[in-house]
Chains A and B, each alone.
Chain A
Amino acid sequence: MKILVFVNHVPDTETKVKIGADGKLIDPAGVNYMLNPYDEFAVEEALKTRQSFGGEVVVVSLGGEANKETLRKALAMGCDKAVLLKDSAVRDSFAVAQSLAEYAKEYGAEIIFGGKQSIDYDDAQVGGLVAELLGWSSVSVVVKLEIKDGNIIAEREIEGGHEIVHAKLPAVIMAQKGLNEPRYPSLKGIMDAKRKPIEEKPASAAEIRVEVSAMRNPPAKASGKIVGTDASAAAELVRLLHEEAKVI
């Protein structure tokens, strides 16, 4: 099977967001970037799918030179080939999805894995967009997956429960935490990844539909009230929640 996996290169979760000079983007100074955490589940599922059906796993990322670090991590986990769709300009999800979909077609992918969402813009869009652009099935927020005879049975997380979804291949699967336990790259994997080439191609041009006019930090919270230092403060806390905050 020709398996494609999308990985994004994002600021790590510890990042303190400082607004850049243009007032629209994060200031990248001092920020550590990493493989988007949900995409680790996507890579793992792609590798498991290769185990079951054979074939190869190609990992693709759209972005600048720095995304190679994330591609190397995916190679170290066991992906066969890496492709960088190069573009350092700011894109919205739609523009990202268009180029990824074009690449998927060109490669002849039969199944695509991605993460539930990128933890930078928290969009959770790319999977659905790519699937619709390709005319494929898509299942988002997937915590369980079975592939049988060209069909998919997936479980996805919804409010207060799970949905059991049946879908036809080809499909885009967006992974949620819980789908699997991502493997750690082995030492050999890391060494091999250094030698595997990363194919580079310019990302196709795409229209920007959603424009950011300003970015800011959320208003800081005024410091709260310490109601007490032991169980005797419980009554006063309940009074405040009832009379002052009016939430109970």
Chain B
Amino acid sequence: MKILAFAEQRNGQFKKVAFEVVKAAKTVADQLHAEVVALVVGNNITSIAGQLGGYGASKVVVVEDAKLELYSTTAYAKVIADIAKTESAEVLLLPASAMGKDVAPRVAVKLNAGLAVDCTALSVNGGTITATRPVYAGKGLVDVAIKTQTKIFSLRPNVFTAGNPSGATAAIEAKKVGLNDDDFSVAVKEVRQSSGKKDVAEADIIVSGGRGLKGPENFKLIEDLAGSLNAAVGASRAVVDAGWRPHDEQVGQTGKTVSPSLYVAVAISGAVQHLAGMSSSKYIVAINKDKDAPIFTVADYGIVGDAFEVVPALTTEIKKLLGK
């Protein structure tokens, strides 16, 4: 049996989640006595394909085409489904990233497969894969099993650990998939990167600010602390709605769901809708002047104090520690 792992790359570089997906595929494959085939789609990607051997792929299929340089919903769906068919893969793993979430349903229809999205754990029991996934923005967890012959799971980024690569190598196989103009009926023409900004959905550390900061100008404190930690800046909905911060920084039920290794909530009360988006973070620090703020119920460490004093002191201490 084969498990196909879609290894997402952009600009010729693997996303961290690509390694997580391949490694998770390997863990499942070992229990099913299966083999992991990784798939890389894009342009100028052959040189990076070999990296996936170290995470457990025995073979890497490379579909390289200048037309695939930028993501296309329809073309990528066709390529992934075609390769899944030619490899006779029964299980397909993708990242629950912007790309993975967009392409997975289309692949599911092409393969007539059941799809479980945004999984946070996969376990194997008597040959059956059970996936665990958060529902109700993390307020519930469900165990699900897929009944169809072909099964697709997408994995939440930052949850599965890739670890360090082993010395293992993989066979690299270049494949062509016939693509015509119709296959590009949905195509990205341009990617606009927010200038050098780290995104909360991918960051390992996030420093978020809330309404208690009183005004947009005071986010300088948050940016400085985030800078010292090489972290992304996040925000509560209250400050996004007030126009202090852009929507792409919003964390929560109607913002982004994040699971960094460290989440620092500054002057955020911890409303259920905010907690829904960040309570699965590995470590949570709360800084709030109200000792009864609900954010403290999910915090591992807290300082009950004035953010305007605590945050600059924290930035200084971190710089000291990291020798900046």
A125 — which chain B residues lie within 8 A by C-beta?
Answer: 104-105, 108, 115, 117
Given contacts A210-B147, A241-B262, contact A92 B321 (CB under 8 A): no
Least CB separation from B312: chain A residue: A231
Distance (whole angstroms) from the CB of B6 to the closest CB of chain A: 15
Distance (whole angstroms) from the CB of B48 to the closest CB of chain A: 19
Stretch at the interface among A105-113, A196-204, A221-229: A221-229
Q: How far is the CA of A61 from the CA of B299 in the complex (A)?
A: 39
* Interface status of B74 (Cβ within 8 A of chain A): yes
Q: How far is the CA of A40 from the CA of B71 in the complex (A)?
A: 28
Distance (whole angstroms) from the CB of A150 to the closest CB of chain B: 11
* Interface status of B1 (Cβ within 8 A of chain A): no
B-contacting residues, A194-248, CB 8 Å: 208-218, 221, 223-235, 237-238, 240-242, 245, 247-248
Q: Are A132 and B134 in contact (CB under 8 A)?
A: no
A38 — which chain B residues lie within 8 A by C-beta?
Answer: 254
Q: Are A139 and B314 in contact (CB under 8 A)?
A: no
Interface mask (B225-266 → A, CB under 8 Å = 1, otherwise 0): 000010000000000000000011010011101000110000
* Interface status of B300 (Cβ within 8 A of chain A): yes
* Number of residues on chain B facing chain A (CB within 8 A): 97
B104 — which chain A residues lie within 8 A by C-beta?
Answer: 125, 128
Distance (whole angstroms) from the CB of A184 to the closest CB of chain B: 15
* Interface status of B192 (Cβ within 8 A of chain A): yes
B305 — which chain A residues lie within 8 A by C-beta?
Answer: 228-231, 233
Q: Are A209 and B187 in contact (CB under 8 A)?
A: no
Q: Are B134 and A216 in contact (CB under 8 A)?
A: no
Least CB separation from B272: chain A residue: A14
B108 — which chain A residues lie within 8 A by C-beta?
Answer: 94, 125, 129, 132
Distance (whole angstroms) from the CB of B284 to the closest CB of chain A: 7
Q: Are B303 and A226 in contact (CB under 8 A)?
A: yes
6 new A-B pairs (CB below 8 Å) besides A237-B301, A248-B321?
Answer: A119-B137, A129-B106, A159-B202, A171-B186, A235-B317, A247-B282
B residues within 8 Å of A by Cβ? Answer: 71, 73-74, 77, 97-99, 101-106, 108-110, 113-118, 130, 134-148, 185-194, 197-199, 201-202, 205, 229, 247-248, 250, 253-255, 257, 261-262, 272-273, 276, 279-280, 282-286, 291, 296-306, 309-310, 312-314, 316-318, 320-322
Among all A-B residue pairs, the 3 with the closest Cβ atoms: A128-B105, A209-B114, A234-B313
